[in-house]
């Protein structure tokens, strides 16, 4: 059960947030007004949690990560260092977002999906359960991924196809 508490942010602003039992919020993390932080969650240094964002039970938010306004991070989700979850984006239970990855506003990462380091998921895209998005891969607007995306392998396959068939 979450309880309302007053928090003073590093910039001196005072906000009311809702916090569960066993939550760790680093003193250098910024948490926006009316954010909900569920039980047993870890929020590292220099992290930004936007207004009315929700961070689920046992989630891990890495150092210098950004969780946008009204974003939803589900229980047991892992958000890596310097990752960005845009305003209104959804990262469901158990999803893993790697370091320096970006999930843009309105994107939806379904439970159990993995977005690896440096990947970019554009607004409106959906990454389905079990999908594995490779490092530095990019998913375009309104795209839906059900399997894996490895930008190096995919490029090699297209190049091989072009060289063998001549119709890239």
Domain of residue 18: give its range. Answer: 3-165
Q: What is the CATH number of the domain that holds 21?
A: 2.160.10.10
Residue of 10 and 158 predicted with greater confidence: 10
Least confident of 40-54, 97-111, 128-142, 150-164: 150-164
User: Looking at the predicted structure, is the pLDDT value of residue 154 above 50?
Assistant: no
Are 17 and 33 within 8 A, CB to CB?
A: yes
Domain count, the chain: 1
pLDDT of residue 55 exceeding 50: yes
Q: What is the pLDDT of residues 90-146, one digit of tens each?
A: 999 999 999 999 999 999 999 999 999 999 998 888 888 888 998 998 887 766 665
């Amino acid at each position: 059960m979450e309880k309302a508490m007053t928090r003073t942010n590093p910039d001196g602003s005072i906000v009311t947030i809702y916090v569960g039992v066993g939550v760790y919020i680093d003193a250098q993390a910024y948490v926006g007004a009316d954010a909900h932080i569920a039980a047993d969650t870890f929020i590292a240094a220099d992290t930004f949690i936007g207004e009315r964002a929700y961070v689920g039970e046992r989630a891990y938010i890495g150092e210098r990560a950004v969780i946008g306004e009204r974003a939803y991070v589900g229980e047991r989700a892992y958000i890596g260092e310097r990752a960005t979850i845009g305003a209104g984006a959804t990262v469901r239970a158990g999803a893993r977002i790697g370091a320096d990855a970006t999930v843009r506003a309105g994107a939806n990462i379904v439970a159990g999906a993995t977005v690896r380091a440096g990947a970019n998921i554009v607004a409106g895209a959906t990454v389905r359960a079990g999908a594995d998005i490779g490092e530095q891969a990019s998913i375009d607007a309104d795209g839906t991924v059900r399997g894996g995306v490895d930008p190096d392998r995919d490029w090699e396959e297209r190049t091989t196809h072009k060289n063998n068939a001549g119709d890239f």
